[in-house]
Amino acid sequence: MSIETERSILGLAGKLALVTGGGAGIGRASAELLAQAGMKVAVAEIDPARAAEARAALDAAGCDSLVVEADVREADDVARLLDAVSVRFGRLDVLVNNVGDYLGFKGGFVDSTEEEWQALYAVNLLHIFRVTRAAIPLIRSSGDGGSIINLSTIEAFRGIPLTVVYAAFKAAITGFTQSLAVELGQYGIRVNAVAPETTNTAQIVATSRVPAENRENLKRWFPIGRFGESSDSAGAVLYLASDRLSGWVSGSTIVVDGGALAAGAWMRMPNDNWTHLPIIEADGYTPRPHAR
């Protein structure tokens, strides 16, 4: 199948996507995949080096792109970002709110502080409010409906100890996504979310944290047998961006987790029996004070 045929199927060629945090990880993978689908791409990135890398990659791909160094936690930067997108392209079709997978302060909730809550709020939820509110008028004025995609996490749908406030903000993204989908549906604007499990990105290098002698256990911890990659979530973003593929999908969350949420606590043991009460050391997360 030719690139032209693939782009025709997706129906995204010539449209514009804005990806926040598009300089690395899932954001970068999403920006590059949307560009491959024929979209024009705007990227917001706080880190100058990552912004330069994203700019070079999109230029090399022949994408009509704009990379803006901005901190989307700041209202002034959000306004500057949307002004730049409007001046350069005059439209916006797809917004990917990718910034935000920041666990921050790990510890018991009783020991957490309001300063920590505010920092987690700014990274994991407040910027989504600000960017989305600023983007909606431009999406509506484009006249072709549109798609808003919020990056969440599997932790929005299960309990996670020691990062209670983080998980609370992620759960809030679900409510925001569903309610905004209802509100904006009259304009043909769809709102959905993508919720990954642990994914190898610039922030989280998961696979290498598991000792080599224990990586065989990955096949037992996840039904699909591995941690996620940025490209996994980028594929979900591409699906939700395309009206051709997901034109009647709104208010939903795609869980990109290798089957982990479906499995619940069930894991396959080395003898191919199953247990929902595993005790597994050397998983890359469990402290091993006795290890040398």
Angle between helix 48-60 and 25-36 (nearest 10): 20
pLDDT at 97: 98
Query: Which percentage of the chain shows pLDDT scores above 90?
Result: 74
In whole angstroms, give the CA distance from residue 215 to residue 226: 9
Tokens of 268: 């396959």
Q: What is the CA radius of gyration of the chain?
A: 20
Exposure class string for 51-60: b at 16+ Cβ within 10 A, else e: bebbbebbee
User: Between 143 and 241, whose confidence is greater?
Assistant: 241
| pTM for this predicted structure | 0.91
β-pair partners for 190: 147
Q: Is the pLDDT of residue 68 over 80?
A: yes
The pLDDT tens digits of the residues spanning 87-116 come to 999 999 999 999 977 777 889 999 999 999
pLDDT at 292: 47
Q: Is the pLDDT of residue 290 over 70?
A: no
Please report which confidence band the pLDDT of residue 14 belongs to, taking 50, 70 and 90 as the band edges: very high
β-pair partners for 94: 17, 147
Other Cβ atoms closer than 10 A to 72: 26
pLDDT at 100: 77
pLDDT at 224: 92
* 118 residue type, one letter: Q
Calculate the alpha carbon distances from 19 to 37, 81, 175 in Å: 15, 11, 21
Please report which confidence band the pLDDT of residue 125 belongs to, taking 50, 70 and 90 as the band edges: very high
Instruction: With H, G, I as helix, E, B as strand and everything else as coil, classify residue 18.
Output: strand
The catalytic site residues sit at 166
Average pLDDT, the chain: 91
Q: Which domains does the chain have, with CATH numbers?
A: 3-213+223-264 (3.40.50.720)
